[in-house]
Chains A and B, each alone.
Chain A
Amino acid sequence: NAGVTQTPKFQVLKTGQSMTLQCAQDMNHNSMYWYRQDPGMGLRLIYYSASEGTTDKGEVPNGYNVSRLNKREFSLRLESAAPSQTSVYFCASKAGNYGYTFGSGTRLTVV
């Protein structure tokens, strides 16, 4: 009963490097999300996908891209990492009118 799985759990990048955060859910949910959480800022929506094949920008999309590979997987890519992208990233999925189920998070540091 894995729920939402995120990889990696920790990552350190140098400024300008790229990386992809992976997320997969096994609950057959249509909707998937990427949030970042920073101290004092709460969780902020980066991108979301209402269903397979669709993606939309959230509150803070600049510097990120996403891919909804299939119903299970929703990846987040940083093309050229910046120190301002140091954060904890959470992937989540949702079915219907219920709350989100979150992955365990990725702690990213950009130096």
Chain B
Amino acid sequence: RKEVEQDPGPFNVPEGATVAFNCTYSNSASQSFFWYRQDCRKEPKLLMSVYSSGNEDGRFTAQLNRASQYISLLIRDSKLSDSATYLCVVNKDTGFQKLVFGTGTRLLVSP
């Protein structure tokens, strides 16, 4: 089983749609969770951290379900500029934090 698993997509949605991505992780001891965004041929950039109580940043909402070991990202009112690959990231251990990256979910927002 992969340490972090994501549906590779692509998710094709029209502008204005709401889209959700899920990610599952295998290490129940993981403490830190993030969503990164990566544009084609660019470096990954931190989109948001994921907190136990869930958190929101504008049109983006992240949720954590520790019992089921999954993380979700909800994007409301999709924009063309949201087209990118979204990487789910989990820390590998409780000590020094090496982050493990999922292979990403590709989102394509069309006019």
CA distance A72 to B16 in the complex (A): 43
How many angstroms between the C-alpha atoms of A94 and B87 in the bound complex?
Answer: 17
**Total A-B Cβ pairs within 8 A:** 45
With a CB–CB cut-off of 8 A, which chain A residues contact B101?
35, 42-43
- A positions within 8 Å CB-CB of B: 31, 33, 35, 40-43, 45, 48, 50, 58, 90, 94, 97-105
Kindly state the separation between the CA atoms of A50 and B43 in the bound complex, as whole angstroms.
Answer: 21
The answer to whether B103 and A104 have CB atoms under 8 Å apart is no
C-alpha gap A48/B93 in the complex (Å):
14
In this complex, the member of A33, A41, A102 whose beta carbon has the largest number of chain B beta carbons within 10 angstroms is A102
Q: B42 interface residue, CB < 8 Å from A?
A: yes
What residues of chain A lie closer than 8 Å to B49, measured between beta carbons? 98-99
